[in-house]
Amino acid sequence: MPAHGLDLSRIAAPMVNQSDLPFRILVRRYNTSLVYTQMLLPDRLLNDQDYLEFHTRGLREDYDSPVVVQLCGNDPDVVVRAAKTVVDRADAVGVRVDLNLGCPQDAAREGHYGGYLLGQKDWPLVESIVSALSHSLPIPVSAKIRLCQNVSATPALGVRLEAAGASWIALHARHVSARRRRQGAADLSQVKTLKERVNVPVVSNGNVRTWEDVIANHAETGADGIMVGETLLANPCLFANATPDPVKISLEYLDICREHPDTATIETIQAHVRHFVDHQCGRRPWYNKFRAALTRCGTVDEIERLLRVRVQRWRGLAPLAEDETEDDEAEAAEDDDGARKVQGDGGDEAMAATSILP
């Protein structure tokens, strides 16, 4: 079901330091229908010009649309004022009422926002934030939530968010956990229950590792769309039902980074490349060597060289450069050693390299 003309069927979830512009462009090329920015902090949007400029650079240009800007916070006035700094660069604003646990989530607990607003005592505050945004902005407002501690209360929260003005609700059907980012499988039956209780579109988030999981999730929940996070980091072609060659998809991402400079930090770029390679090569004997080499790379060009020459050699494949010469004898020796270790599985890698997306 569309929401205000937006296709909610295949969504890239907001991910801390990973929903950068080049990645958003990449997943769109492979059948993702809607992307989110990472969760942005209202205080910094209002008070840190560098932060505002970095996170809005290229936002909603032709190559970055449609896009949902995700905000958090616990002060309706501050959240609305922050939303107004980006409203002209967004197709929708998402209010985050869920957070996986990890480093940012400690900040969420201390700042009393995100998943720490799911308790019933805070529902009026959450409603006031959604209501203030929906009445103040000319674009739709959505809410992304997790299961309430009392699971049976989750549909009631959804009903109240709809009444407050949420145009759609995304449910990650896990609890907020203070100890683990994942507490077992997502309870997709709760997505189905929420779908039955509200009239706005419902997006299901959780339990997707393959394209078959996307289909199964939709069949089980009846959701209007499927949102995927970490699995897209590993395979940005998931929604195209394809698995790309890890080196070639990394090089494609690097090309986008060059086309849109200063939209992703070198640390973010390294993390994406690591995810792409880990997805298919994480168990290879040379993988730890690759991670160490990637960490030492300080530029996009250095990462590209690592991928085109050394990673290809470790995979038992020819370098992806016609005029490449090796000046560093120590590096060459190290690569030859890696190549010998993977000789036994070079055939599998070569097969994968020839089955790239057209």
Instruction: Give the rounded distance of the alpha carbon of 83 from its chain centre.
Output: 21
Largest CA distance in the chain: 67
Q: What is the DSSP letter of 67?
A: E
Q: Which tokens go with 312? A: 């290809």
Q: Which tokens go with 68? A: 């949902």
On whether the CB atoms of residues 142 and 95 are closer than 8 A, the answer is yes
Active site positions, annotated: 103
On whether the CB atoms of residues 238 and 228 are closer than 8 A, the answer is yes
**Sequence letter at residue 50:** D
On whether the CB atoms of residues 59 and 301 are closer than 8 A, the answer is no
The values of phi and psi at residue 138, to 5°, are -85, 5
**Sequence letter at residue 77:** D
The values of phi and psi at residue 257, to 5°, are -60, -40
On whether the CB atoms of residues 130 and 81 are closer than 8 A, the answer is no
On whether the CB atoms of residues 141 and 130 are closer than 8 A, the answer is yes
